[in-house]
Structure 1
Amino acid sequence: MDINDEAKSKMEIINIPPIISTYRQALRTFDDKFKSEFPTNLNKLKSMMDGLRADDLGFDKSFTEPSTWNKPNKAPCTYIEVFQNNKVNMSIFVLKPGFRMPLHDHPHMHGLLKVISGAVRIRSFTEFPLKEAADLIDFKTRAKHEAARLAQGVHKRRKLFAQISQNNICRENSATCILTPTISNYHEIEALELPAAFFDILAPPYDTFVEGVGPRRCRYYYINNEVSTNVVELHETSAPECFFCDQAPYLGPILS
């Protein structure tokens, strides 16, 4: 390789759009071939997402205008698919001002969420068991009962206890939020006074198969009881009628 070719090669590396670098890192992070490197790769992916901005994803700025959300029959949430295969789903969600994406779960999944426009309040929960009981309720006994019920194939709507693991306002300059199969796996997201958008990576995607469990289904919950300042009882419920999405095309760099 001569000097000019070498310089060109270096320039191409430098000029790789951030979303393409993030996409490539996501594929590596959640590829079973690199399972031994997972913690390192996940941290690297989070670091890349921390630096993402709306322009990196070709975000349509018309979504930031109130007039967009005042149109008749406009859905309160717009979904933009960036990429999906059987390992990773990458997408953008745009929320109407004041709209709250209902409390839902992410079964056996990792997730990363980066706000790219506006501000959202994210309240996340981590499922029981706790290390000790709170107030007068014996959480350990209740948790064992719930586990036994599910093991016997009694597939009624779930009830569980959870700790509040996050209750923060996140903005464009905030760090990426992470959920794991066991930590902060339940959350609700509320746009504040302006429209808000966030870039989301989930792995594996919803509907992919879980051995011994079946397809991953998104389930919705409500808080039935606030046991203490940071412990709640969640009950599964039907998908709220107020939550529906329309779709818009991804306008950012082609991922390859």
Structure 2
Amino acid sequence: MERNKIQVLYDACQALFSQKGLPTFQQIHYLKNLLDKIEAIDVGIDEFGLCDSPVSDANVHGSRGLLCGRGFSEITYIHIHECDSFSIGVFCFPAGKVFPLHDHPGMTVLSKFLYGSVYVKAYDWITLDCTGCQTIGLGGRVVDEVITAPHEPTILFPRSGGNIHSFTALTPCAILDVLSPPYSQEFGRPSTYYSDIPIPSLAGYAMLEEKPIPNDLVVQGAPYLGPSIVTVYDHNFGQIDCDNHM
């Protein structure tokens, strides 16, 4: 039986991120190519749906409908899979919503813009001071552009590529993310938010200062309605389960 695109993505992530040592540059680009083949319909989203409700009555996945890409009123996260090594999920944005400047500490992140247009601003650290109560430092801007789907997947690394970034949805849009390793407060990988203060005498640079989670940031959850994936939870005993997320 032919594997669906999300199963292929999961299998590749499991192989690359669970191995000893870091994936090679070539392996990361192999993963990027897999992401590039994925469309909104492959993760259970109808990007063209004009329904008022987030869930449409389209019936293309057996008895399940699709999530309506234009039916969200808040930023919404669709959880597909998470383990110790990586996570896979989709952020859906209504037009006008902003996901503020935040980081991905020690992570490699691959993102595929499934549909829509979004303004992306991203920095990498130039200098960093973590000795006080708040993290502060000089950031160099590496991305400052509007990205419109279709667009090749982006890759950011722990210290390059725009590890600190923000999104402003110009239209309803969705972003498929692969994070390795995933966020973890326990293992020192919390999500930290920042304000950026431009430096007039240094074009493209800003002072980045840690700030509390914005009070107006609302992220809702939605069920994953794409095809089921088979996930291996216990390699020692060969235990296999089916991750339906229903």
Aligned to 2:57: none
The partner residue of 2:86 within 85, 88, 108 is 88
Structure 1 residue 59 and structure 2 residue 59: aligned? no
Instruction: Give matches, 1:11-50, under 5 Å.
Output: 12=1, 15-33=2-20, 35=21, 37-50=23-36
Instruction: Give matches, 1:1-256, under 5 Å.
Output: 12=1, 15-33=2-20, 35=21, 37-61=23-47, 65=50, 67-68=52-53, 76-129=74-127, 146=129, 150=130, 154-183=131-160, 184-192=162-170, 194-207=171-184, 209-210=186-187, 215-227=188-200, 228-256=202-230
Q: Any gaps of 5 or more consecutive residues in structure 2?
A: 55-71, 231-246
Distance in 1 of aligned mates of 2:207 and 2:169: 24
* Number of corresponding residues: 211
Distance in 2 of aligned mates of 1:37 and 1:126: 21
DSSP-derived class of the 1:128 partner: strand
The code of the aligned residue for 2:12 comes to Q
Residue 209 of structure 1 contacts residue 216 of structure 1 at CA under 8 Å; is this kept in 2? yes
Higher fraction of strand: 2
RMSD (CA atoms): 2.1
Higher fraction of helix: 1
Q: CA deviation at 1:87?
A: 0.7
DSSP-derived class of the 1:27 partner: helix
Moved over 6 A (4+): none
Q: Any gaps of 5 or more consecutive residues in structure 1?
A: 1-11, 130-142
Q: CA deviation at 1:245?
A: 1.1
Q: CA deviation at 1:59?
A: 1.3
Residue 91 of structure 1 contacts residue 199 of structure 1 at CA under 8 Å; is this kept in 2? yes
Q: CA deviation at 1:44?
A: 0.2
Structure with the larger RCO, 1 or 2 (CA within 8 Å, 6+ apart): 1
Distance in 1 of aligned mates of 2:43 and 2:148: 16
DSSP-derived class of the 2:158 partner: coil
Distance in 1 of aligned mates of 2:143 and 2:198: 18
Q: CA deviation at 1:117?
A: 1.9
- Computing the radius of gyration from Cα coordinates, the structure with the larger value is 1
Residue 78 of structure 2 contacts residue 89 of structure 2 at CA under 8 Å; is this kept in 1? yes
The code of the aligned residue for 1:80 comes to I
